[in-house]
Amino acid sequence: MTDPSDGRYPDPAWLPGLFSAACGIPCPSVQCALEGFTLDTNQVPLDPADLNAFEGLLDIGHGLFMLEAYGLLFAAVVNGSLKELMDATIDPELRRLFRKGQAGFKSRVPSRTLYAFSRGISAILTEARLKLADYFEPLFGPNPSRSLFLEVCILARHGMRHILSMHQLVQSLYQQAMKKEVLIKGAHLYNFLLNSLSTVSEEYDLSILPLIRPVATEVATMITSFVCNGFVSDPHDEFFAKPISQADALVQGVLDNTLNEFQHTFDREAFTTVYEKISAPTYISAIAPGCRLHRDRFPTYLTEHNAKNLVLIARCGRISGQVGEASNLLQELHDTIALTTTTKFSQVSFDRCVFRLTCMASRSLWLYLLQEGILDHLRILLDVAFLQQASLASCLFMNAQTALQGQVTPRLMSRAFNTALERALGVCYGHQIAKHLEFASFCEKRVGSRHVPLRHKQSVDLDALRETLESFQFHDLFITHQQLQPISGFQFHYCEDNPAYEVRPNTISIKPSTAEHLTYDPRHLGVEAQYEALYNRSIQRSFYEPERTVYTTEQAPRTLGVVYVPVANSILRNIVFQYQCSTTIEVFLAPHCLQQLSTIMRFLLAFKHAEYVLNETYHTFMTVLPSRRICTEAYGNKKDYLVLLVDRRGPSALGRQLQLAKAVPSLCRSLGDFLERLALHIELCSIRPHLTEFYSRLMEISRASVQEQVEYSAIQGYVEASNLFNSLIAHTINNLFLQNCDACVLLRFIFEMICELHRLVDGGIRDGTLNTRVCAHIYAPSREMDELYQRVVALGKVTHRACSEFIRVTRMEGI
């Protein structure tokens, strides 16, 4: 052993090995193990007192060695290269660690925060080794001494003691992650690191902050980017939930798998269960079309209250990092989360930033909505959807979809609604777009009335409408001259298993019948028997089957007794019925609310279409059959013209025509009154009061949001209003449309009767059983005309019974 009194002690040949050991780098003179470092005294025969002083540096070296090992392991876990790392490692101790890690992390764990954590470890190692080099530099000078060696050991151990704290922290994280790997991702990692602060002392906090700040900065960047830009930037599903693919039509606008059940299992029990899940979901709120935010992935230090506010701010899309106070608040929010200037998470500072940002977002959003007229647009949208303005609603949705191509922002949405409404109103009411005209005043004048005349050419610009329809390049829309109204996009199809016929407005297609379905062919079934069979078959089916969504004619399901409303208009089908319009009014309604709104709109548009069919049938009779004035002038006021004078005691052909002229319009008017009462019932009893409350709540929030003294942000009230509307729609659908009850079945049956009535009259016109020749009274009515009259009478009886039964059932069920 070298004498410590010798001036050459410690031997300069020992110093490189001692320095490498202190830096955590394996060397021949030190035995490196995962449990600790041990100096080989045979190669470096230090005095026991000096060895005791140097052991402190061995602890530092072991800490650096383990930090580097964990850093390499975490980086390999992120990249999925842990096996390659293990194969390339020569040191047996490191290979043992990596083999154990490979058994724990069975697959790649992509994570921005974990990668930032590993980069932070690497930066700390570099800084620590440079600092150790500064400590050891005097020992490599010309005159090293024992006293200098002891001084270096003491100073280096004291200056590098934070490495031990970091080692303990990372080792604890590694041990927990081996049990559950999600703990080293995103908010879980952030929560773990924040919880490690203030557990020992302020000095300890300062020592581990360099390890925490890279992760905290990554989380802060994700949150502030979300708040500022309003869209999700979370490619590895750490902080926010994984975005749903916009291209996947099966899950478009669906927030989670629960809503898939909500769509497809709509009996009363399932509805109640699933709707409760929707009301209290596992995520906080919808944050973008097709995305969700999980409670258990949100940093606990941000609190659920603040988390909701951050989501609301992001949904508003009105916070800019480039302007005034907003920029300062966003920077302070970032610094608070990232622990840039503090050693602890400041809850007070964070709460203040979120509150101020929420107030600014609230005020900015509602001023923006009022200035751009979006609240008026929403009111008009609800009016045209629920007050039977189906044609305007059709044009509105079609034009809005055309305008909203690509990424949607509130401002683009505003422009799209302006363009869509003006164009739709201009097409439907012959209005030429004029930007100088006050839009709100124009809408009030044009949309304020309940019934808008669409029948006469002077009320509808058919050329402009034709141009609009053709501009959308419909692939499967069959347009005739009589169907140039927007409502023609909706068609009633009666469909059976291998159906014998299909019913469309103004058309009928008779398909070859087979023996198996012979009883369903109107050409082979008795009048009363046919309607009884149709009525009984309808009674056995629910009105709406959710799994039978909207189909094109080619995709129509051949299901026995199903009545559906296929939409030949491909644009409208994609927007309204396949729920891809969520980006259009996302600022107001959640995606699942849009789905339910579309369901109600589907039925209300069906009412409008039924009314259109009835009116067409009535006007057809009034056009084809001779007027009462002609009959009166030809025969006086006597009723002899109704019967033949010699060979028959029944009515003549003209008499039968006049009987039809009396029966069919009467039936049309009674059905029309029924549909009108039904629509009014839905509006007044189920929808209109809630819509009034919804709109009133919006206006109250709008007025309150411009005030600075808001106890709880007005934007929260906006979401409450949206939730109110969501609840209203779900309640209405469940009560009237989606229950497998008698009322639903009867409603479907009545719609079938309407289509059947129109088919009978249209067929009578085409085959000549209805004619305009007054002299036809001298002939006996044809067999076809007699059959037509019998069918209309039978139809009237069955429909009257169905309407009465529907009213009775709905009263009993309290609908």
Q: What is the mean pLDDT of residues 274-298?
A: 39
Among the residue ranges 126-135, 372-381, 460-469, 797-806, the one predicted with the least confidence is: 460-469
Question: Which pLDDT belongs to residue 670?
Answer: 74
* The predicted structure's pLDDT at residue 455: 32
Whether the model clears a pTM of 0.75, i.e. scores above it, the answer is no
The predicted-structure confidence for 671-694, as pLDDT tens digits, reads as follows 776 766 666 555 555 555 555 555
**What's the pLDDT tens digit per position in 223-241?**
887 777 665 566 676 765 4
- Bridge partners, 705 (sequence order): none
Nearest to 29 by CA among 591, 19, 718: 19
Give CA–CA dist 645/778, Å, rounded.
Answer: 9
Q: Which residues of 373-382 are buried (b: 16+ CB within 10 A; e: fewer)?
A: bbbbbbbbbb
Give the residue-averaged pLDDT of 432-448: 34
Distance (Å, rounded) from C-alpha 253 to C-alpha 578? 9
Identify whether 522 is preceded by a cis peptide bond (ω within 30 of 0). Answer: no
Question: Which pLDDT does position 90 carry in this prediction?
Answer: 73
Between 289 and 73, the higher pLDDT residue: 73
The three-state secondary structure class of 651 is strand
pLDDT score of 802: 73
Which residue from 211, 221, 219, 60 is spatially nearest to 123, judged by alpha carbons?
211
What is each CA distance from 260 to 9, 195, 253, 263, 593, in whole angstroms? 78, 38, 11, 5, 14
Q: Which residue has the higher pLDDT, 6 or 31?
A: 31
Q: What is the pLDDT of residue 453?
A: 29
Q: What is the pLDDT at residue 680?
A: 57
Taking the CB of residue 798, how many other CB atoms lie within 10 A of it?
A: 20
- What confidence tier does 100 reach under pLDDT thresholds 50, 70, 90? confident
Segment 727-754 shows an average pLDDT of: 56
Residue of higher predicted confidence among 68 and 576: 68
What does the DSSP assignment read for 376-423? HHHHHHHHHHHTT-HHHHHHHHHHHHHH--SS--HHHHHHHHHHHHHH
Write down the pLDDT at residue 300: 64
Model pLDDT for residues 470-515, shown as the tens digit of each residue: 332 222 222 222 322 222 222 222 222 233 333 333 222 333 333 3
pLDDT band at 790 (very low <50, low <70, confident <90, very high): confident
| Mean pLDDT along residues 627-646 | 47
Would you state the structure tokens that stand for residue 704, as one six-digit string?
């309150």
Q: Chain centroid to CA 30: how far?
A: 61
What is the reported pLDDT for 22? 80
Mean pLDDT value of segment 628-653:
51
pLDDT at 131 over 50: yes
As a whole number of angstroms, the longest Cα–Cα distance in the chain is: 153
| pLDDT at 338 (0 to 100) | 87
H-helix or E-strand spanning residue 63: helix 48-79
What kind and span of H or E run contains 503?
A: strand 501-504
For 612-635, what is each residue's pLDDT tens digit? 666 667 776 666 665 555 454 444
Is the model more confident about 420 or about 658? 658
pLDDT at 750: 67
Minimum mean pLDDT range among 41-55, 198-212, 473-487, 606-620? 473-487
Q: Are 105 and 80 in contact (CB under 8 A)?
A: no
Whether the CB-CB separation of 228 and 316 falls below 8 Å is answered with: no
Residue 191 near residue 162, CB atoms below 8 Å: no
Structure tokens at 327: 């920029």
Q: Decide if 58 contacts 22 (C-beta within 8 A).
A: yes
**Axis-axis angle for helices 112-136, 48-79 (nearest 10):** 150
To which H or E segment does residue 509 belong? strand 507-510
Report the C-alpha gap between 532 and 523 in whole angstroms: 15
Rounded mean pLDDT, 163-170:
82
In contact, 91 and 26? CB cutoff 8 Å = yes
Q: How many residues does the structure list for the chain?
A: 815
What's the pLDDT score for residue 255? 32
Kind plus residue range of the DSSP H or E element containing 360? helix 347-372
Give the separation between CA 58 and CA 104, rounded to whole angstroms. 29
Give the three-class secondary structure for 29. Answer: coil
- In this predicted structure, the answer to whether residue 186 has a pLDDT above a threshold of 70 is yes
Judge contact between 361 and 424, C-beta under 8 A.
Answer: no
What is the predicted pLDDT for the residue at 388? 30
Mean per-residue pLDDT for 779-801? Answer: 75
- Percentage of the residues of the chain whose pLDDT score is greater than 90: 0
Q: Given this model, what pLDDT does residue 218 score?
A: 86
Q: What is the pLDDT of residues 355-383, one digit of tens each?
A: 888 777 655 554 444 444 444 444 444 44
Is the sign of the CA dihedral 462, 464, 468, 473 positive or negative? positive
Measured between alpha carbons, how far is 668 from 619 in angstroms, rounded to an integer?
10
User: What pLDDT score was predicted for residue 396?
Assistant: 45
The confidence score (pLDDT) of residue 610 equals 61
Residues with Cβ within 8 Å of residue 101, at least 6 apart in sequence = 73, 76, 77, 82, 178
Average pLDDT of the chain to the nearest whole number:
57
How many angstroms separate the CA atoms of 350 and 356, rounded?
10
What stretches of 432-590 show up as alpha helix (H) in DSSP? 439-447, 462-471, 527-539, 570-572
Query: Do strands 507-510 and 562-564 pair parallel, antiparallel, or not at all (unpaired)?
Result: unpaired
Beta-carbon count within 10 A of 301 CB: 18
Q: Could you give the CA distance from residue 236 to residue 240 in angstroms, rounded to a whole number?
A: 9
